[in-house]
Structure 1
Amino acid sequence: MFVKRRGLKYKFILGSIAAIVVATALTTTLLLILVDSSPQHIIIYLLFASVFYVLIGSTLILFLSKIMVQPVISLTEKVHEVRNGNFDISIENKSSGDEMGELFEGFNAMVKDLKTSISDLRAEKEKAELYSRQLYDSKAKLEAIFNGISDGIMVINRDFRIIAVNPFFEKIMGHPPPELVGHHCYEMCHDGGYLCQGCNAIATFESGRYLSSMRTVADKAGEKRYFDVHNFPLRNEKGEVQQVIEYVKEVTGVIRAREKLEQSRRLAELGELAAKVAHEVRNPLHAIEGAAHYLLNEFQTNNIITTFGTLIRDQVARLNKVTSDLLNYAKPMTADLAPGQVVPIIQRSLDIVKHHLEAKGINVRFSYPHELPLILIDGRQLEQAIINLVVNAADAMSYCGQLVVEVKTLESPSNGIDEGIQIAVADDGCGMDDQVRKMMFSPFFTTKEKGKGTGLGLSTVYGIV
């Protein structure tokens, strides 16, 4: 018990002294016995005693070494296992009460704590990897939403530099997003070194409030484009506005549709008024036309009456055409559909305007397949549309022009089955520029000389089709 409570150093010292005492006592006792029995062999006995001393001493030293060194070797092996990642080990403490026992207890406690710490670290690592994956997924979703929105989103800092921008802004600023990020927003908007006049981002940075406005921008072609601009503040942890999100939605289509709706409303009112006026004017015109016809028949030899009578008749005819156009445009176009052939209707329409075409020396080429299917048509409206197209084409051509009216069937590209009929009216006139092409179907729009057109011909055709 006394030895166990001592330190390792004292164990070694006491064990060595005890071994020496035991070896000396045994050797001396044995030597005395042998010398007593045979004094003449004392030298041999002394040599034997020396050898015995060496053997006993060596044995005791090896034994003590094993007792002292073996725990250290075992500890070293355990340390190597821990270094290789094996934390499910421990050292059995057979030396409690000394330094080696404390070392074993400390080693076991250290391995246990290390195992717990590594387990905690692995758990935290797994959590971190999970959070990282979730963050990556969230970032990918936000980027997909950010880039997929059909409206413009731009983030700017207090220096008015673009931090982030989605692809829509390329349509507005003419630069792809990589070229926009890092530059001042006003440089990208108007290539100038000054802030945009009336910029809501300035007010949002100063007030910290959401602001919105409508901006008008002219594109490269000079066409006006309209945008709803919304500015939202982004605050830091101190509540200070650090960045501004600018959300831009193009409303050009809505504005144009609203303008067209308003124009249509006004035109409807105008058409209704014009129809009433035309109806009231028509009756007096018939009377004037009848009087002019009577004067021309009764006073054929009077040159003055003949000249002015002819003038009155021609002007009445022109006014009748204007009133007819107004009435046709104003009345509702309800189709009375029935199966029929288009060729007879087109031929009848050409016969109606034949005199007008011959007066200008216009050559007409009418082509169509020999067999055409019956289709649902409103013969009266189709005739009116053909007449308006032919007259409009004739007015656009100079003397001796070429007018082509072509009918052909439309076949499905997949199965070759007839899907309908196409009627094309072409002329070799001056053609139309882009501005005229945009306005060609607008009511009362005409390129003809004053007094020679009402601007309702193609508009009526558009309404019929």
Structure 2
Amino acid sequence: MEPIVQQYPALSPHPSLANRTILVVDDDTVVLNTIKMMLQSANINCILATGGQEALETACHHKPDLILLDYMMPGINGAEVYKKLLADKTYTSIRDTPVIMLTAKTDNYEEQQELLKMGLSAYLLKPFGHKELINVIINVLTLNDVKIENQKLQTQLYDIKNYLQSVFDSITDPISVQDIHFRIQRFNHAAVRVFPSLTTGIKSFEVEASVPFHCHQLFFDRKKICDQCPALETLATGQSKLAEIRHENRFYQISTYPVHDRQGRVISFVESIKDITEKKMLESQLIESSKLASIGTLAAGVAHEINNPLCIILGFTQSLLTEIGTHDPVRKELEIIEHETARCGKVVQDLLAYAKPGELVRSHTNVIELMQGSIGLIRHLLKKNKIVLTESYETDLPDSWMDAPKMRQVFINMLLNAIQAMPGGGAIDVSINYDSPASSIHIRFTDTGAGIPDEKIPFIFDPFFTTKKGQGSGLGLSICKSIVYEHQGTIHVQSHIGKGTQFLIILPVLQN
């Protein structure tokens, strides 16, 4: 008598079962064939295995969409097979395959919970019906499809996030994203490079929203929001804004861009910070060049229209002085004319020197020797004005490629300025140091004079500006600045009323 073969009615196609292949693992061939017929009724492809090791090898070869794994099998049971599937590197390619454990055991609750925590998809208690099996398979495959889709979306989101961060970090200006309370939420690598304090206490470039890092604190070391901050207007109007802020003798261009939610409300903003100090310097130099061009035109006319009459006046005056006696009553007046005419001539010469400085004639120059030579030329003035001079020079200073006579003119002007600032005597300190990382020479002239008022400091390098009424042309510092700039250097000043003034000249070490 042949065995009765159970027939299962065909089920309506389900989208989760289309083109699926399921591996069925059971040591009982009757159970295997029964499950096979159940699955075939739902148009599911089946692969059969009768043992644990065979199941692992078959799964590696066929890559099924799901495994129905019997718990009670000789050799290694279903639980051991599943643990081996997860732990053995041989089965890495099928590790994420969903597994349904088929079992008649009800006394191993702790082991069941352990396997579920490890990732087992479901338990199906024997005996089970046709529709019950198919429904569990549909649920597990649907959940696994959702899991796979979520993993794909997470990978895409991760890739997009990395791409956006790469774009963010490729921008060379500091950029940050801030909420409406000015708390920094994200920033790029450039922000860390320019403002190292950003990394203090922060492990990543994505700042936790609960940590109150504010723009004005981290970027500008201020307790309050900057008065000129364009973000205030951006948050109020929802429009992009631009402003310039000065901080520690540097200029920054701050740009803010609103971020809106779906209702059009501003929920955060992007802030870009650009250091425009060099740009401001170039603009200042352009203005100076424009002034220089105007003065050059004026100087040419002055030289032609005034210099010749001055020479005639000076010549006649000196001729008269040689013809009259020492005690002649008009001699004093003639000497005044001679002195003032010579002073006017010096103004014209300074004007010409400022307006038409001429080409640099460079040579390898030892700056210390140049400074010592300059001091030697005015040492008699130091003694006459009761001024004590101290010198401090760094050893092994490299030579620089510069116009020595012009730089000597700068040094002498600096020293004369300091002397004139101390009519009652005082002290001058001259120091020269080498900044190796920047490859630049720092030259300082420090005096103990009366100091320069804060409101006058911005104008001291302007042509014809002077704090010494009736003395000089007001072109000395302008000429010094022009010569220093010609050498790609910078000149800075710090002054305190009643304490004195310090001029700092920074010259790059240039080679031929």
TM-score range (shorter-chain normalised) is 0.5 to 0.7
Cα displacement string for residues 181-208 of structure 1 (whole angstroms, at most 9, x for unaligned residues): 9xxxxxx8589xxxx999455555xxxx
CA contact (8 A) 2:70 2:101 kept: no
Task: Determine if the alignment matches structure 1 residue 391 to structure 2 residue 416.
Answer: yes
Query: Does the Cα contact within 8 Å between 1:87 and 1:111 map onto a contact in 2?
Result: no
Unaligned ranges ≥5, structure 1: 5-70, 92-103, 182-187, 205-210, 414-418
Larger Cα Rg: Structure 1 or Structure 2?
A: 1
Higher strand share: 2
| Correspondent of 2:342 among 282, 298, 317 | 317
Displacement of 1:275 after TM fit? 2.4
More helix by share: 1
Q: Which amino acid aligns with 1:450?
A: K
Once the two structures are superposed, what CA deviation does each residue of 1:209-239 show, in whole Å capped at 9, x if it has no partner?
A: xx444446788x99997544444654x3xxx
The answer on whether the counterparts of 1:446 and 1:453 sit within 8 Å (CA) in structure 2 is no
What's 2:507 paired with? Answer: none
* Matching residue of 1:454: 473
Say whether residues 1:291 and 2:316 are aligned partners: yes
Alignment partner for residue 296 of structure 2, among 272, 275, 292? 272
Written as runs of structure 1 = structure 2, the 5 A alignment for 1:246-395 is: 246-250=269-273, 253=276, 256-257=280-281, 259-280=283-304, 281-301=306-326, 303-339=328-364, 349-350=374-375, 352-353=377-378, 356-363=381-388, 376-395=401-420
The one-letter code matched in structure 2 to 1:429 is G
Q: Does 1:151 align with 2:175?
A: yes
Alpha-carbon separation, structure 2, partners of 1:222 and 1:365: 29
Residues 298-333 of structure 1: per-residue CA shift (max 9 Å, x gap): 233555422211211221222222222221122244
CA distance in 1, matches of 2:459, 2:358: 21
Pairing 1:195-210 to 2, within 5 Å after superposition: 199=233, 204=238
Instruction: State the number of aligned residues.
Output: 347
The answer to whether the Cα contact below 8 Å between 1:87 and 1:112 also exists between their aligned partners in 2 is no
* TM superposition shift of 1:81: 6.6
CA distance in 1, matches of 2:242, 2:297: 36
Aligned match for 1:241, one of 261, 264, 281: 264
**Counterpart contact for 1:275–1:323, Cα < 8 Å:** yes
Q: Quote how far apart the aligned CAs of 1:337 are.
A: 2.5
In structure 1, how many angstroms separate the alpha carbons of the residues matched to 2:396 and 2:213? Answer: 61
Structure 1 residues 352 and 306 mapped into 2: Cα distance closer, same or farther (>3 Å)?
farther
Secondary structure, counterpart of 2:129 in structure 1: helix
User: Contact (CA 8 Å) 1:340, 1:374: kept in 2 or not?
Assistant: yes
Q: Say whether the 8 Å CA contact 1:333–1:464 is kept in structure 2.
A: no
Q: CA RMSD in A?
A: 5.5
Cα-to-partner distance string for 1:393-440 (whole Å, 9 max, x where unaligned): 2112233434455678x6979xxxxx9987665544345576666655
Q: Indicate conservation of the 8 Å contact 2:432/2:444, yes or no.
A: yes
Secondary structure of 1:397 counterpart: coil
The question of whether the paired residues in 1 share the 8 Å contact of 2:233 and 2:241 is answered with no
Q: Separation in 2 of the partners of 1:200 and 1:340? A: 54
- Change over 3 Å in CA distance of 1:252–1:388 after alignment to 2: same
Cα 1:346–1:289, aligned 2, differ >3 Å: closer, same or farther?
farther
1:114 corresponds in structure 2 to 136
Tell me the equivalent position of 1:179.
212
* Correspondence for 2:462: 443
- Checking the alignment, whether the CA contact within 8 Å between 1:368 and 1:407 is kept in structure 2 is yes
Structure 1: distance between partners of 2:370 and 2:102: 104
**1:241 aligned counterpart, secondary structure:** coil
Give the 3-state SS of the residue equivalent to 2:406 in structure 1: helix
CA distance in 2, matches of 1:373, 1:197: 47
Residues 455, 128 of structure 1: CA spacing in aligned structure 2 closer, same or farther, 3 A cutoff?
A: same
Query: Taking every aligned residue pair, what percent have the same amino acid on both sides?
Result: 22
- The CA deviation at 1:117 is 3.2
Distance between the aligned counterparts of 1:313 and 1:292, measured in 2?
6
Over 3 Å counting, the alpha-carbon distance change for 1:360 and 1:295 in structure 2 is farther
Distance 1:307-1:216 versus aligned 2 partners, 3 A rule:
same
Provide TM-score, normalisation by structure 1. Answer: 0.55
Give the alignment's TM-score, normalised by structure 2: 0.51
Deviation of the 1:449 alpha carbon: 2.1
- 1:9 — aligned with what? none
Letter of the structure 2 residue corresponding to residue 326 of structure 1: L
- In the TM superposition, residue 143 of structure 1 has moved relative to its aligned partner by 6.5
Q: Residues of 1 paired with 2:363 and 2:184: CA distance?
A: 61
Deviation at 1:132, TM superposition (A): 3.1
Equivalent pair of 1:299/1:306 in contact (CA under 8 Å) = yes
Q: 1:335 aligns to what SS in structure 2?
A: coil
Asked whether the 8 Å contact 1:296–1:305 carries over to 2, the reply is: no
- Please give the alpha-carbon distance, in whole angstroms, between the structure 2 residues aligned to 1:152 and 1:396: 48
Q: CA separation in 2, counterparts of 1:343 and 1:153?
A: 50
Q: 1:308 to 1:333 in 2, by over 3 A?
A: same
1:93-104 equivalences in 2 (<5 Å) = none
Mapping for residues 31-42 of structure 1, pairs under 5 Å: none
